[in-house]
Structure 1
Amino acid sequence: MDRNTVIGLVLIFLIMIGFGYLTQPSKEEREAYQRKADSIARVQEEERQKRLAEEQAKALLSDSAKKQEAITQFGLFSDAASGTNKFITLENDLMRVTLTAKGGRIYSVELKKYKTYSGEPLVLFTGDENTFGLQFWGDNVAVKTNDLFFTPQTTDSIITATTDSVSVTMRLAAGGDAYIDYIYTIKPGSYMLGFDIKFNGLEKNIGNRLGYIDLIWDSKLLRLEKGLENERNYTTIAYQFFTGDYEEFNSRSKDDSKELNNKIKWVDFKHQFFSSIIVANDHFVNADLKAVNIDDGKHVKQFSARLALPFQNKESESIGLKFFFGPNHYKTLKSYNSGFEKVVPLGRNIIRWINKYVVINVFNFLSRYISSYGLIILLLTIFIKIIISPLTYKSYLSSAKMRVLKPQVDEINAKYPKQEDALKKQQAVMALYKKVGVNPMGGCIPVLIQFPILIAMFRFFPASFELRQQSFLWADDLSSYDSILHLPFSIPWYGDHVSLFTLLMAVSLFITSKMNTDQMGDTNAQMPGMKFMMTWMMPIMLLLWFNNYSAGLSYYYLLSNVITIGQTYLFRRFVDDKAILAKLHENAKKPVTKSKWQQRLEDMAKQQEQLRKKKGK
């Protein structure tokens, strides 16, 4: 930078300082400017204060209107119409129950020891899709506690029962000393949750002409298992009357509803393998129940219940209830001594007796020593087959007797070829059987005796909690269907997958049926239509039917058929047809007494012959 440039910059700086000094306002001008600015600020503040006052007035009017609207809608509970929602968790070693301040109700229930088929935490129900609360008239206003905010009587957000029972109270204030309390109690090692409702100071406000107060419970049950169709078929509403009688909705009905006018002890919103049961310490006066299918892929069904609680409307009154949230495991349910075990679909009468006293006990005994339920089913099948083997042998022997008599039966058929002689032919065949001491029903009776066992297994396996999520070979869940191939389309009555256990079961059934029909031959006791039905139609029908059923059930029937095939070959080796025929010939030498059935056949034949002669004249 040269000398002239420096001088120029200095002169410019001095000129700017001088200009600023010469042009600055005077003291009077500065004071006038400040007075003007202060005046503008005062006007702006007055306008702001005016607007704020107007807004506050409007807010007061709005709050007053809202308060009046709340009083109109909720009556003495108007102060609880709005509030802050809070969540409190009650838990023990088995379950986690979340309560919400809105409605003071159970918001969700998680069972800690179990997972859904997809591996998620097992939650029975959750969220605002569920409704639970009292419904009554208070000061001529219809009150629904589900819409009101309760105040938790604790500052803790998580309360855990480790060594003793713990409780939390959710209070619905009604002004003054009046309130409704929901008291929840949980204890260690239990799926039961205590639930007491306490009324205080409301005897003049709550209408009570009918002697009861309504409890509304509405829940959407989440999908938990592998096969939605199978899970839906076992998901239903069950209930027990005060007398101990048990009933449930038809789980296969799409929609159903019932009005129960008798006293009820408990109501169960039942999943396939889990239950949500509300139990009255005393009883429910009556109930309206409803079930609706849901096809959104997330839920199974929606259940609704209106339960009438006995209510005398005293100055201080309590209603005792309980909840059971747990697995449909027979021994677990039975341990609560409330009839809960009835929800396990084991069948009726002798079918239930077989499952209750034989199958479950054998299953529980074997599970103490064997972890694989595939092996347990194998041993159970062998055990059952050994028990009924005398009946199986008797059935085979009866079939063998019928088979060795086939030549003589053929002679009778040739003797009476005409259709009008059918009664005579039947009479002659029956006379032959009677003469040699053969009961044509001898092969059917042992099968009929075994039939309850087959039905018992049919009821047990799809409902067996023990099989839930138990894998074996290619089946990842023995309580649901197994699949070796998923189809890109769905076949009517079959499905969109191929169950290998079902396929093998159908093949084994075909083999056993063909062996049985070949054993019987073409005797008169077996019509061609029945032969076709047993040999072909039954395997095909069961293939279609069982494809979406429990893999454990198909596996059991497969094992049963395979063992039957082995027994049949064993019996053939040790049963001598010639010895049987010789024995029958020995029986034919003995005097024969006509049975009432045979006498009736002869009488019918004579009457038929007389009618034919009259027509011939």
Structure 2
Amino acid sequence: MDRNTFTGLFLIMIIIFGSFWLFKPSDAQLKKEAELQAQLKQGKKQGSNKIVKLDTAKLAPKTVDSAALKAPFGSTLEGIEKLVTVENKDLRIKLSTRGGRIYSVELKQFKTADNKPLILFDGDANKFGFNFAAGVANVNTNDHYFTPSAEGLQVAGQDSSSITMRLSYSPTQYIDYIYSLKGEGYKVGFVIKATGLDNVIANTSSLTLNWESSLHRLEKSMQLDRQYSMIQYYDTNNDFDYFGDTKDDIKDIADKKLQWVSFKQHFFSSVLLSKDGFSKSSLSVATDTSNHADIKQLKANLTVARNSNGTYPFEFYFSPNRYSLLASEGHGFEKQINLGWGPLKYINRVAVIPVFNVLTKFNWNYGLIILALTIILKLVLSPLTYKSYLSMAKMRVLKPEMDEIKAKVGDDNPTLLQQEYLKLYKKAGVNPLGGCLPLVLQMPIVIAFFRFFPGLFELRGQSFLWMHDLSTYDSFITFGFNIPFLGDHLSLMCVLMTISTLIYTYFNNQISGVSGQMKYIGYITPIIFLGALNGYPAGLNYYYFLANMFTFLQQYIIRLMVDDKKIHSQIQENKKKPEDKKKKSGFATRMEEMMRQQQQAQTGAKKGK
């Protein structure tokens, strides 16, 4: 790492920080974004705050067999499907008179990746109905027509809207679906109430709910959209679990009561919560890869018991997967965001998220927030980086002596060669793993960020430099066809990250003095990362790129602080110390014993011959 090398790295840093200034948002863009944030904070709305209206007919009457019309609830098998719209500042809910179900859900404050209204689901591929026996007939409410109550078409109160969808058996016997929606927020109240049907329905103490949804593609990356879409659930013992993210699957749960079930997508979720819990659950996830409009098909059959009031109370949550928002709703909803397993989860929850939340309060561009987060992380880890560099410098100073030992012993006796190396390490007072251990300690944090950025809702739709959306890949070349290992595009930030990693590997090899095959193994990993991360969010690759650049800067500063001649002198002083005064690590002791046993085994084998 001579003067020209450091000059080049310094110029690269100038170019990077210069690009931040050149590509920073204009005053007009900042003003527009500030106005939008102010509108959201002040609760300003698009259109009316609380709207309940009856739309025009959706479908023509359905022909029904005459025998079915004579069965219980048979008269409600015929009708015309109409849509009732209920909306607030955040949601636009359409209810269908056929099935009385939620026909579609639109999140009004957000758009899809192609700038269309963000509709979580709609159409006949989605079902929500109850199965029960009435006389000799099996009734599925999905197939029956409900009637919106007259009073339900009016705004109910100042703070909320409500609508009642009624399935009638007779004028005094009916099932009501009561939906309620406050002026803002993502919660939809839902209560089922059966009146006068105890002698009609075989068992009103519990009902079986059939909920099916075909999730629309909302994001740019179909791969990530499917990867992060799954069924999640949370039981009454506060245990969380999920399945269906990596493969199609079916799961039956009868040994515990679920509090809520979530049809989760990458950045949005549909959650159904039962206040009394689901006693039995059968869940399934399927993927139709030929369907490019929808990403997955999710199903849930849920058994729920009637409460003491004679009703079945539920709550729907149709919301963005923003950690702070989900945590504020309670019920363990924030667990829907995968922060990693084991210690990774706690690193993100206890350290990364609080720091990120503090940085967002400055109202910076998210590209600058990631930059600040990287600087903070590098400062925190700088002691470990220093120890790693110092250890590698010691190994580099020892390399000439190691080469002499190798020339003397030869390559045909690796066990003896390692023994001689260990003797040298012991005399010099050098730990051969000293450069690796600090890097190993940093790995959980690096992996934690790998989980943090792809699920970070705040990056969705946020632009920085040439990257139009930090939550997805920044394709500067689109092939129009799939290439094995890469996909159908090439991400510019991923390419820059890979180049910086290759450069970092080269300089790291110079520092550590690595030679032979190990010298080239380090170059394979960045190439693998190019294919693995090419479809991942630009924000993640941007972070890894910045981490590499700041590592270059750290190593330059540490290089000025570390004197190879001083290290060499210290090693020579260590060699002169008496054997019993030298600190011997447990690792070195175990390595010596292992080498001694291997040498004895080899000697015994030669004598046997």
TM-score with structure 1 length normalisation? 0.83
Q: Which amino acid aligns with 2:356?
A: F
Answering whether residue 506 of structure 2 is matched by residue 514 of structure 1, we say yes
TM superposition shift of 1:418? 4.8
Rounded Cα–Cα distance in structure 2 between residues aligned with 1:286 and 1:427? 63
Structure 2 partner of 1:9: none
**Do the aligned partners of 2:244 and 2:285 also contact (CA within 8 Å) in 1?**
no
Structure 1 partner of 2:194: 199
Q: 1:154 aligns with which of 142, 150, 155?
A: 150
Q: Which amino acid aligns with 2:529?
A: L
Q: 1:532 aligns with which of 487, 512, 520?
A: 520
TM superposition shift of 1:427? 1.7
Larger helix percent: 1
TM superposition shift of 1:438? 1.2
Q: 2:349 aligns with which of 339, 349, 356?
A: 356
Q: Which amino acid aligns with 1:344?
A: I
**Do the aligned partners of 1:89 and 1:158 also contact (CA within 8 Å) in 2?**
no
Q: Which moved more, 1:392-401 or 1:597-606?
A: 597-606
**Do the aligned partners of 2:415 and 2:599 also contact (CA within 8 Å) in 1?**
no
Identity %: 43
TM superposition shift of 1:79? 1.9
**Unaligned ranges ≥5, structure 2:** 1-63
Rounded Cα–Cα distance in structure 2 between residues aligned with 1:414 and 1:158? 93
Secondary structure in structure 1 of the residue aligned to 2:420:
helix
Q: How does 1:572-611 map to 2 (within 5 A)?
A: 572-592=559-579, 595=586, 596-601=589-594, 603-605=596-598, 607-608=600-601, 610-611=603-604
Structure 1 partner of 2:226: 232
**Do the aligned partners of 2:283 and 2:299 also contact (CA within 8 Å) in 1?**
yes
Rounded Cα–Cα distance in structure 2 between residues aligned with 1:112 and 1:192? 14
Rounded Cα–Cα distance in structure 1 between residues aligned with 2:595 and 2:112? 66
TM superposition shift of 1:322? 0.7
Rounded Cα–Cα distance in structure 2 between residues aligned with 1:158 and 1:256? 44
**Do the aligned partners of 1:109 and 1:124 also contact (CA within 8 Å) in 2?**
yes
**Do the aligned partners of 2:82 and 2:97 also contact (CA within 8 Å) in 1?**
yes
Structure 1 partner of 2:179: 184
May I ask how many residue pairs the two structures share in their alignment? 538
**Do the aligned partners of 2:193 and 2:311 also contact (CA within 8 Å) in 1?**
yes
Residues 158 and 366 of structure 1, relative CA distance in 2, 3 Å threshold: farther
Structure 2 partner of 1:61: none
Answering whether residue 285 of structure 2 is matched by residue 291 of structure 1, we say yes
Rounded Cα–Cα distance in structure 2 between residues aligned with 1:250 and 1:449? 32
Structure 2 partner of 1:496: 488
**Do the aligned partners of 1:423 and 1:601 also contact (CA within 8 Å) in 2?**
no
TM superposition shift of 1:598? 4.4
Q: 2:540 aligns with which of 553, 558, 581?
A: 553
**Do the aligned partners of 2:152 and 2:163 also contact (CA within 8 Å) in 1?**
no
Q: Which amino acid aligns with 2:291?
A: D
Structure 1 partner of 2:460: 468
Rounded Cα–Cα distance in structure 1 between residues aligned with 2:600 and 2:310? 80
**Do the aligned partners of 2:187 and 2:315 also contact (CA within 8 Å) in 1?**
yes
Residues 146 and 366 of structure 1, relative CA distance in 2, 3 Å threshold: same
**Do the aligned partners of 1:89 and 1:159 also contact (CA within 8 Å) in 2?**
no
Structure 1 partner of 2:472: 480
Secondary structure in structure 1 of the residue aligned to 2:376:
helix
Q: Which amino acid aligns with 2:202?
A: G
TM superposition shift of 1:113? 0.9
Secondary structure in structure 2 of the residue aligned to 1:541:
helix
Structure 2 partner of 1:273: 267
Q: Which amino acid aligns with 2:435?
A: G
Cα deviation 1:250-276 (Å, max 9, x = unaligned)? 4132x2221122211111111100000
Secondary structure in structure 1 of the residue aligned to 2:175:
strand
Q: Which amino acid aligns with 2:234?
A: Q
Rounded Cα–Cα distance in structure 2 between residues aligned with 1:77 and 1:242? 35
Q: 1:308 aligns with which of 285, 288, 303?
A: 303
Secondary structure in structure 2 of the residue aligned to 1:285:
strand
Rounded Cα–Cα distance in structure 2 between residues aligned with 1:331 and 1:218? 28
TM superposition shift of 1:176? 4.8
Answering whether residue 399 of structure 2 is matched by residue 406 of structure 1, we say yes
TM superposition shift of 1:170? 1.1
Q: How does 1:317-328 map to 2 (within 5 A)?
A: 317-328=310-321
TM superposition shift of 1:331? 0.3
Rounded Cα–Cα distance in structure 2 between residues aligned with 1:379 and 1:353? 21
Secondary structure in structure 1 of the residue aligned to 2:72:
helix
Q: Which amino acid aligns with 1:276?
A: S
Rounded Cα–Cα distance in structure 1 between residues aligned with 2:225 and 2:156? 32
TM superposition shift of 1:604? 0.7
**Do the aligned partners of 2:206 and 2:304 also contact (CA within 8 Å) in 1?**
yes
Residues 83 and 540 of structure 1, relative CA distance in 2, 3 Å threshold: same
Rounded Cα–Cα distance in structure 1 between residues aligned with 2:485 and 2:570? 50
> RMSD in angstroms over aligned alpha carbons?
2.1
Cα deviation 1:573-611 (Å, max 9, x = unaligned)? 221111011111222233335553145135415522540
Cα deviation 1:100-140 (Å, max 9, x = unaligned)? 11111111111111111111111111122211010111112
Rounded Cα–Cα distance in structure 2 between residues aligned with 1:591 and 1:251? 60
Residues 158 and 443 of structure 1, relative CA distance in 2, 3 Å threshold: farther
Q: Which moved more, 1:168-177 or 1:501-510?
A: 168-177
Answering whether residue 114 of structure 2 is matched by residue 99 of structure 1, we say no
Q: Which amino acid aligns with 2:389?
A: Y
Structure 2 partner of 1:32: none
Secondary structure in structure 1 of the residue aligned to 2:453:
helix
Cα deviation 1:456-503 (Å, max 9, x = unaligned)? 111111111000011111111110000112224321120222211010
TM superposition shift of 1:152? 1.2
Structure 1 partner of 2:124: 128
**Do the aligned partners of 1:115 and 1:121 also contact (CA within 8 Å) in 2?**
yes
**Do the aligned partners of 2:148 and 2:164 also contact (CA within 8 Å) in 1?**
yes
Secondary structure in structure 2 of the residue aligned to 1:611:
helix
**Unaligned ranges ≥5, structure 1:** 1-64
Structure 1 partner of 2:530: 543
Secondary structure in structure 2 of the residue aligned to 1:266:
strand
Structure 2 partner of 1:169: 164
Residues 297 and 66 of structure 1, relative CA distance in 2, 3 Å threshold: closer
**Do the aligned partners of 2:231 and 2:242 also contact (CA within 8 Å) in 1?**
yes
TM superposition shift of 1:373? 0.9
